[in-house]
Structure 1
């Protein structure tokens, strides 16, 4: 039975055989100090300074079998310098028998040498016959050292580059007891495994490129992909525990140099040779210290840039992106970061044009610092806009597009900068500090800049910091530009959407109306949902809700076309079925894929009824006023407009004063992963909830359905309270088409308006009725002239006849005997209009009630 052991990760490094931290034990996601080896309890423990760390040699062999890369770890492990190894035949230098083709079995290692536990031998040329990875264990003699026990892994490489073989090798001394015995294991051997077999698979894959030689990102990615596909290098302990070979860059170089110095001091005290060629001799240390320092600095900057890149750009929201960029550099890179953007960028307008000049306004959009709270906010508040003169480093940065480095802000420069801040002295904040100004650019256009300041006691910015700042600004500029473009496009889409959504009055003839529109929560949030209310002849009102399939500008544009078409056809008083049929034809003419649902209702407050027709839309809810009961109206579903050739049906529903009609789009009731019936039930329940006003009723519905989470689509909601019109508020007369009836019509209007208490409107109304009835009598064929007065929020007057030709407003000459009637109506009425009816035409006008 195999005993389960805590997984010990041995960090293998290419840092010239340096020793480092204790090993970490990974057990169910926790980290703790672990013994130096899995069998530490069975023998003397190795030196804690080197626990869990073994040197790693990295060698690359080209297609000709020659060494093209020889790491410092390889020099330490095999005792051969880089100059001696590069260009030499790899089989003469590496203990990887079977992995390299050997023409001569008299090579220093022979066909298989004296190794044990070798991987499979491979024959043939290096370019064609080495096609899968090999691993093995070897013991060899290295000049100046005892026999070394080596584990090795060899990977075939394919691709356009010259690399054909990647060899990794590690010294097992750190894994054994002082006497060389394996630590309580049957054996230690190299192997391969999927990197996903271990905790932190992504971290393993991310750190693998660190062991490769310097090459382009593309080449490195290609090699890493092949290594991961062939199997991650692992150390097998007793064939039941696999430990990944992970490159470690987490130990500071100063710790490694300190360890070498301590070893050199101990060697000197013991009288050992510590000359330049000794692994820890002073000469070797001095030669490597400069290289280590430079390498560590470059790596630190690259790690900083990678970290910043991971932290910025998580959102397309401009304000959030600005905050991310500022917070990413403080305090790791700088102590103060102030971000300034051009006015057009902040406003979400188009791409800023022209080179900045001394009149360009720069908005301070973020200030991040490590000073005491309020110190910077009080002096340079966020939101301030100001220009910068030509003698400042800020102007130089934004006009040249290059970083500007000021090692220390002098008294003179501090005074020149402070002169731009009225009634505020910023010199105590900037004098003596190191300053770096970096431009935020996109496509060679400067969108803004960042002012980076370090405390006087901190190291000044260097040329390397300038390069890092330039790269930081380039990445931040692209992220900001993406957010700017998204904000601009979103503003354009929202402007288009707002311009197409109607502004419906709260009160229309016989009904009160409330509406809500909620944009979607997805990117490209603007959609094709719309609502509308259109005034019809006979004091009726058309109520419309529609939903164009899809999102974005195309859907919004199509929505505008369909809404305009519906409003136009409704004003012509087309029957609901005919209107949807015409809308279907229009959608087909607009092109393939133009589909939309539409619910069209006509409310007649005099008759107390609704006429409804549906084109693939969700049904409306009717809330009865007498008992508060709500119900989904059972309507024929129909098909969306744009399908073509589908019949539509009209349903007549009687309603009472006070009933409420609720119409909405599916974005309100439809949730991902949930049956739409649940949303419709919630809609009915929330619509029946009593509310103080129509707006409160709409808000109740939105809260009930919008708090469930998961809503992505936009929402249109229209609610109408059907108040109706009392019979005494309507007066109607029928007159024969005889000119003598015009006087009777005037008298009837005056009398009824006196009864309603509208004496002030009697004379203008009688005059306009006289003109309309005269025209109706003149053009009527045989039918009667119908005169109707409706007292609602306004005074409505309609005159119907059986002539289908609509009158038009025209200019009358001095000698013309007609053509002035509609001129009089147009001048005196609040509004007027004409429409065709089933038997002819109707001409109407409205007058504002006294006090209305």
Structure 2
């Protein structure tokens, strides 16, 4: 509604852009008021369902749509089907929540590389000002060359203000096509036309200016003396209209920024929102800490503060600003510049016009660049981007010479724009910071697994959940065990967020500690459940723990409420879920766990994952498990490719919120000819025999170069067992993989310890020798005693399977 008497030609306009598929791509606030649909309802909906614009669309509006066309003046399409003539008309529309509306509309077909194919301007005929020559029901929308209208250049320059917030390239293309096709006017007759301007208008288009516009195109005998001055009585109306213009602008900008929490996208939206409607140039600068997502900036800025120019938007010719103000440049702004004044005071800085003296002073502060040709004669407004009263950055806004300079009202508008943009940027900054923290935390808790273990290759994938925070309780692990065995673990703490991640870290550490004690799978889960009870956090977790023995070619698996693993047989490529005893989740307490033994063959693949991969909302989990089996059986060139195949097949991106952990192991096995075992008597004479056995076996394997070191290590371990155990018999085993593994077993449960020794001590040096020469060494309990082992690197040795002697 107007404040005061309505003025002819100045109308609240609805502005809509329609894409090639007939769907709305832009919907202004005026469109919401006129047609009754909000932006969220309209964008993406068929335009014909929302507006009664008749033949301007591919099908009529009286076919069950929202309105009946009364008078449509159609333009004929061009020969190439791109952009034809504009069309206009008058129709009835039934807006939701209000009675019938008499709609005037103008439709411009658009051509270009984008999807925009139709621009629609519409207005409520009842809001047109009264005319002396004709009543409102005799007004019709039409078109006229802007050069034939009074102040045609001003009208052309005003067109970008009509368009909804969009990039300068798109708005410039649309404006040029509108001017080519014809400026929108209200027709009283073919000789009497009133140019249409938005409701906020300019002072030239008051009642007297509208009369002058009519008389300028009327026959000479009907003309009256033109009066270019606005009636002073219209001043309150124009002041109200100017305020309303800025509120409309801020409202549309607010709807176009902050559409995501991505910091880079938010920066582009904030910068582009002001061009060209509010300014011709906009450059956004942010503090380095904000851009890096390092948290909230510490302390006020000064001359040492580094700022990054993160985005530049303008409607000049492409590339004009690129060399002088490049995006991505890091710079510390010197004193005595409006930029420094803005960032230190936190207040907008307005320069109505940059004269030569100021242009020289600003340009002189920057080495090896001349800003004068770009800024001289322009109007400048520098506004701070603040959050919680701290300056995060600032925007430099400039209008070219010839456009109305920035004034105090623009300073207020720019400050409000910057305030809204600052909050949006701070939200994106906080989200980026939280994501960085979450990623760092998650990465620190997830293991970096070696792709190759003894007789076993592994590949993993982890996908964070889409919930805010991106931290979850899923984990996987592969743990090296004595006897060339490997423990494969996957678990899932129920819930999300930092608490679940912290609980996951505790449980994962506990599993690694108990695995090093070589506990049976069922006992390990029993101890893990007891630990969860003692932690007292009332968290539940599922866990699957499997031990692969590549020499025996078998899996020993225990399950605590987790989804079963998939085993893909190498012989025929078939896959199936393993039927295992399913215990209660960790944390329930007081339940028993069972283990199952599964024979495997070399080349079989074991696939373990968390339920986030197989659970789909609205579907039974059985469907996801079936899909897992099918995708796991798909042939792949490598383990990584096999994991990617599973992820592509099951992670469809349709609303997955849970995180996903995937662990795949190819069970290669260790051939019998790559192992050797002997029984030794517990006598000193057996130490020498042990050395000979090792030397001969390495020679047979073509590893004679490793024999000298291996003999020393074996001698020390066997001697230690002979001297310090009560066992009657000892076991000695060699296993050849990428390294040489030697194990000595006895029936004593006391584990050896590495201790210091003095010059006079006769013992205590053996394990120090082992620690110095071996790649790794250790000791673990077994069911009948203990095993002491060492690994020796085979850098120059032949690989397994070689015929070298």
1:760 maps to 705
1:834, 1:844 within 8 Å by CA — same for their partners in 2? yes
Structure-1 separation of matches of 2:740 and 2:672: 15
Closer/same/farther in 2, CA of residues 52 and 840 from structure 1, 3 Å limit? closer
Matched, 1:499 2:448: no
Q: 1:314 — aligned with what?
A: 259
Judge conservation of contact 1:13–1:249 (CA < 8 Å) in 2: no
After TM superposition, list the pairs within 5 Å mapping 1:378-397 onto structure 2: 378-397=323-342
Q: Determine the structure 1 residue equivalent to 2:206.
A: 257
Report the alpha carbon displacement of residue 288 of structure 1 after superposing the two structures with TM.
3.3
Counterpart selection for 1:30 from 32, 51, 58 = 51
Out of 475, 480, 485, the residue aligned to residue 540 of structure 1 is: 485
The residue correspondences of 1:789-828 to structure 2 (distance < 5 A) are 789-828=734-773
Q: Which of 844, 849, 852 is the matching residue for 2:789?
A: 844
Report the alpha carbon displacement of residue 700 of structure 1 after superposing the two structures with TM. Answer: 1.3
Q: Is the 8 A contact 1:832 1:844 kept in 2?
A: yes
* Residue 490 to residue 51, structure 1, CA distance change in 2 (3 Å): closer
Segment of structure 1 superposing worse, 601-610 or 372-381: 372-381
RMSD value, Cα: 3.3
The answer to whether the aligner puts 1:367 opposite 2:312 as a matched pair is yes
Residue 624 (structure 2) pairs with residue 675 (structure 1): no
> CA offsets, 1:411-438, max 9 Å, x none?
2322333345443323211111111111
CA distance in 1, matches of 2:698, 2:201: 96
Question: Which of 520, 523, 539 is equivalent to 1:575?
Answer: 520
Q: CA deviation at 1:500?
A: 1.2
Q: Aligned residue for 1:726?
A: 671
* TM-score of the pair, normalised by structure 1: 0.69
Shift in Å at residue 706 of structure 1? Answer: 2.1
Larger radius of gyration: 1
Tell me what 1:561 maps to. Answer: 506
The residue aligned with 1:652 is 597
Q: Is structure 2 residue 473 aligned with structure 1 residue 524? A: no
Answering whether residue 362 of structure 2 is matched by residue 341 of structure 1, we say no
User: Within the alignment, does 1:630 sit opposite 2:579 as a pair?
Assistant: no
The separation in 1 between residues aligned to 2:393 and 2:7, in whole angstroms, is 45
Partner of 2:565: 620
User: Structure 2, unaligned stretches of length 5 or more?
Assistant: 14-33, 37-47, 55-60, 62-66, 72-89, 94-125, 131-196, 216-226, 798-805
* Mapped contact 1:753–1:762 kept (Cα < 8 A): yes
Query: 2:424 — aligned with what?
Result: 479
- Counterpart selection for 2:374 from 391, 415, 429: 429
Distance 1:850 1:19 in 2: 92
SS, match of residue 667 in structure 1? helix
Change (3 A) 1:288 1:556: farther
1:378-417 → structure 2 map (5 Å cutoff): 378-417=323-362
CA distance in 2, matches of 1:251, 1:464: 14
Q: 1:262-312, CA deviations, whole angstroms, 9 ceiling, x for partnerless residues?
A: 49999xxxxxxxxxxxxxxx9xx9453111121111111122122222211
Q: Return the alpha-carbon distance in structure 2 between the equivalents of residues 604 and 39 of structure 1.
A: 80
Q: What is the CA deviation profile of residues 794-850 of structure 1, one whole-angstrom value per residue up to 9, with x for unaligned ones?
A: 101111112212111111011111111110011001111121111222111101113
**Cα distance in 2 between the residues matched to 1:531 and 1:553:** 18
Q: How far apart in 1 are the matches of 2:69 and 2:577?
A: 74
Q: For the residues of structure 1 that align with 2:393 and 2:468, how far apart are their CA atoms? A: 25
Q: TM-score under structure 2 normalisation?
A: 0.73
Q: Secondary structure at the match of 1:340?
A: strand
Displacement of 1:446 in angstroms is 0.9
Secondary structure at 1:447's aligned position in 2?
strand
The equivalent residue for 1:775 is: 720
Cα 1:259/1:578, change in 2 over 3 Å:
farther
1:258 positional shift: 1.9
Partner residue of 2:655? 710
Aligned to 1:584: 529
Q: 3-state SS of the aligned residue for 1:718?
A: strand
Distance 1:846 1:52, change over 3 A: closer
Structure 2 SS opposite 1:452: strand
- Structure 2 SS opposite 1:776: helix
- For structure 1, which segment, 685-694 or 649-658, has the greater mean C-alpha deviation from structure 2 after superposition? 685-694
Deviating runs (4+, > 6 A) in structure 1? 22-27, 37-41, 50-53, 263-266
Verify the 8 A CA contact 2:35 2:50 in the aligned structure 1: no
Partners of 1:22 and 1:52 within 8 A in 2: no
Deviations 1:619-677 (A, max 9, x none): 11111011111111111222221122222211110000110111111111212222222
SS of 1:646 mapped into structure 2: coil
Between the two proteins, the alignment pairs up a number of residues equal to 630
Closer, same or farther in 2 for the Cα pair 1:465/1:251, shift >3 Å? Answer: closer
1:834 to 779, 784, 801: 779
Change over 3 Å in CA distance of 1:328–1:498 after alignment to 2: same
Equivalent runs, 1:135-174 vs 2, <5 Å: none
Describe the SS at the equivalent of 2:663: strand
Distance 1:679 1:636 in 2: 20
**In the alignment, structure 1 residue 291 sits paired with structure 2 residue 240:** no
- Is the counterpart of residue 744 in structure 1 residue 689 in structure 2? yes
Cα shift readout 1:108-150 (whole Å, capped 9, x = no counterpart) = xxxxxxxxxxxxxxxxxxxxxxxxxxxxxxxxxxxxxxxxxxx
SS at match of 2:273: helix
Which ranges of structure 1 fall in alignment gaps of 5 or more residues? 1-11, 42-49, 54-170, 176-247, 267-281
Partner of 1:189: none
Whole-Å Cα distance in 2 between the matches of residues 615 and 646 of structure 1? 10
In structure 2, which of residues 645, 662, 680 is the aligned counterpart of residue 735 of structure 1? 680
After superposition, give the CA deviation of every residue in 1:144-172 in whole Å (9 maximum; x if it has no partner): xxxxxxxxxxxxxxxxxxxxxxxxxxx99
Secondary structure, aligned partner of 2:601: coil
Paired position in structure 1 for 2:553? 608
- Once the two structures are TM-superposed, the CA of residue 737 in structure 1 deviates from its matched residue by 1.9
Give matches, 1:456-475, under 5 Å: 456-475=401-420
Cα distance in 2 for partners of 1:707, 1:754 equals 55
CA distance in 2 between partners of 1:833 and 1:801 (Å): 14
Mapped partners of 1:357, 1:547: distance in 2: 48
- Are the structure 2 counterparts of residues 694 and 263 from structure 1 closer, same or farther at C-alpha, using a change threshold of 3 Å? closer
1:125 aligned residue = none
